[in-house]
């Protein structure tokens, strides 16, 4: 792999199984069910709610065409959620400090919820900087670009790093992987349990061990001969 200088990580389903917060989302899910009023068939509604574990709520609401009432009900609940107990992340999360690049964390979601996850994991010191693409702080019609791509551009400008020298590491083709691909960065999909592989990612790994392997220098070419003798 060409020399890389910067690694930009996603949080949910990359470093942390989003479902690790257990029943925390249930009040939001129930509020959306109550507001549905038959707009979505029950099976489709449950599919949409399941996707909230993998994709930011605003994107789920758009993709599944939530009614304004459904969106508002979910928004009210999600914007108040906060993790109050320690979280542990995936078993390999302790490998993160060993990744020999300048590391950034960029996560999308509701500000209070995402901040509380990061604090519950205790991983903030492992990054040069943490950015939250807070869906509840986006102006409705200011015309400015939203999502992760402008944040990635800000990081690259700060580092003086060309996109081709950056790794974008995460699970979601609709979010960080698409943004990384659009910029010309190297995209690495973490295919954690429940994550559907995306064939357009430059690399696919099971976890952080795979990221470390990508960054390892290649060994000497195999010639088929036995070991050299002194």
Question: What is the model's pLDDT at position 124?
Answer: 97
Chain centroid, CA 142 distance in Å: 25
- Crossing angle, helix 68-78 and helix 26-36, to 10 degrees? 160
Q: What tokens does 113 get?
A: 């919820």
Q: Measured between alpha carbons, how far is 224 from 48 in angstroms, rounded to an integer? A: 53
pLDDT of residue 223: 52
What are the distances in angstroms from CA 124 to CA 10, 115, 117, 176?
13, 10, 10, 19
d(C-alpha 59, C-alpha 52), whole Å: 9
Q: pLDDT at position 217, please?
A: 76
Q: What are the beta bridge partners of residue 103?
A: 7
CB neighbour list of residue 189: distance below 8 Å, 6 or more residues apart: 170, 171, 173, 177, 195, 197, 198, 201, 203, 204, 205
CA angle 93, 132, 166 (to 5 degrees): 65
Which SS3 state, helix, strand or coil, does residue 129 take? strand
Q: Cα(151)–Cα(159) distance, rounded to whole angstroms? A: 12
User: At residue 204, what are phi and psi to the nearest 5 degrees?
Assistant: -125, 135
pLDDT at 159: 95
Its pTM surpasses 0.85? yes
pLDDT at residue 226, rounded to an integer: 46
pLDDT, position 228:
39
pLDDT along the chain (230 residues), means of 10: 84 96 95 97 97 91 96 96 95 97 96 97 98 83 69 96 96 95 97 95 97 82 46
DSSP 3-state of 216 = coil
């Amino acid at each position: 792999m060409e020399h890389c200088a910067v690694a930009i990580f996603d949080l949910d389903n990359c470093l942390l199984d989003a479902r690790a917060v257990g029943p925390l989302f249930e009040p939001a899910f129930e509020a959306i069910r109550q507001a549905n009023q038959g707009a979505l068939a029950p099976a489709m509604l449950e599919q949409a709610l399941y996707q909230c574990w993998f994709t930011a709520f605003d994107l789920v609401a758009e993709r599944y065409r939530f009614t304004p009432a459904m969106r508002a009900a979910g928004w009210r609940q999600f914007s108040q959620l906060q993790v109050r107990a320690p979280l542990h992340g995936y078993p390999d999360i302790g490998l993160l400090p060993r990744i020999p690049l300048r590391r950034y964390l960029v996560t999308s979601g509701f500000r209070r919820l995402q901040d509380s996850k990061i604090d519950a994991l205790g991983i903030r010191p492992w990054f040069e900087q943490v950015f939250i693409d807070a869906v509840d702080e986006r102006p409705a019609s200011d015309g400015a670009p939203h999502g992760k791509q402008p944040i990635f551009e800000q990081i690259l400008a700060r580092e003086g790093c060309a996109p081709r020298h950056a790794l974008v590491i995460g699970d979601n083709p609709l979010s960080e992987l698409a943004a990384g691909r659009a910029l010309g960065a190297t995209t690495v999909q973490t295919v954690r349990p429940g994550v559907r592989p995306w064939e357009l990612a430059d690399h696919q790994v099971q976890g952080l061990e795979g990221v470390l392997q990508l960054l390892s220098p290649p060994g000497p070419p195999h010639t088929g001969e036995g070991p050299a003798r002194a």
